[in-house]
Amino acid sequence: MLALEATLAPLGHPVVVARSGREALRHLLHQDFAVVLLDVVMPEMDGFETAQLIREREKSRNTPIVFLTALSQGEVPEFRAYAVGAVDYLLKPFEPDILRSKVSIFVDLFRKTELVRRQAEALREVLQREHERERAELYQRLEAERLRVREEVLRKEMEAGRHHQRWLEALLSELPTPLALLEPGTGRTLFANRAAQGLAEGCLVYEEARRLRPDIVLTGGDHRPLSEESLPAARAVRGEVLAGVRVEWRSGEQQGPRWLSPPACPHARPAGDGAPGPLRRGHPHQVAAQA
């Protein structure tokens, strides 16, 4: 055994020594070898049985096996050695240079095989990263396209909604029935048609009244200016019950009182001469109250 190790030492590779076939099989479970040198005569199991078990294992199935034997030629059938997967066999005493040359061939083959394996593994990793990068880019493009389509659909829906809103506002603006849309809680006017603007003369829709008469001022019974939130309609929206409210209006040198009942604005027409129309100076009149 020492002579064998000395023969293979110049190759520069570690030599693992096993004293039996079972020990050799244990080594083969934990690492790969360039070549296995088997003696035919070994304790527990001979070299042929050991070689058979080596070939039956997936991990060591392709490991080269070289038989070494001290038996004379003819005592070991060559066909049996090849039948269990041997690639060569040598008779002892063997020529060291011949053994070293044969083993070096398998060592070089093992190196090249390992190199190809590592290169293939590295290539797989590169391809995997490239595939993942392409998938990420594709996902980003698809997500961007999905968002673009969604934004386009929303934009068209908003345009259609605005068009419908403009059409509806234009239609409602021409209705003779006073209509107004107030914001819940604050009473802020969101929309009022012409009839509602004329009916309230600014009491219902302060902003619309100012568009018609920029200098108009509305005051309450205490002669203090009323904010839009203090107007009768806004107070009614907030849940106040008002039987009748006197509102003074003043535009330039013109002024006058106006009696309003919130339920009549914008749900009813005024009684008497209060026909809908633009803001104008008029006489006090009573708006029909509703229960």
State the helix-helix crossing angle for 47-56 and 21-30, rounded to 10 degrees.
20
Q: Which residue has the higher pLDDT, 115 or 42?
A: 115
pTM of the model: 0.44
Determine, yes or no, domain membership for 123: no
Residue 135 confidence (pLDDT) above 90: yes
| CA geometry: angle 274, 277, 283, nearest 5 deg | 35
Mean pLDDT of the chain: 74
Determine, yes or no, domain membership for 32: yes
Residue-wise pLDDT for 25-79, tens only, equals 999 988 889 899 988 888 788 888 999 999 988 888 889 999 888 765 555 567 7
Report the CATH number that the domain containing residue 96 is assigned in CATH.
3.40.50.2300
Query: Rounded to an integer, what distance in angstroms lies between the CA atom of residue 181 and that of residue 205?
Result: 10
Element (H, E) at 132: helix 96-173
Query: Rounded to an integer, what distance in angstroms lies between the CA atom of residue 167 and that of residue 171?
Result: 6
Determine, yes or no, domain membership for 269: no
Note the pLDDT of residue 147: 94
Q: Which residue has the higher pLDDT, 142 or 195?
A: 142
Picking from 74, 91, 116, the residue at the C-terminal end of a domain is 116
Domain hosting residue 84, numbered range: 2-116
Q: How many domains does the chain have?
A: 2
Q: Which residue has the higher pLDDT, 179 or 19?
A: 19
Length of the chain: 291
Mean pLDDT, rounded, for 211-236: 69
Classified as helix, coil or strand, 3 is helix
Note the pLDDT of residue 245: 57
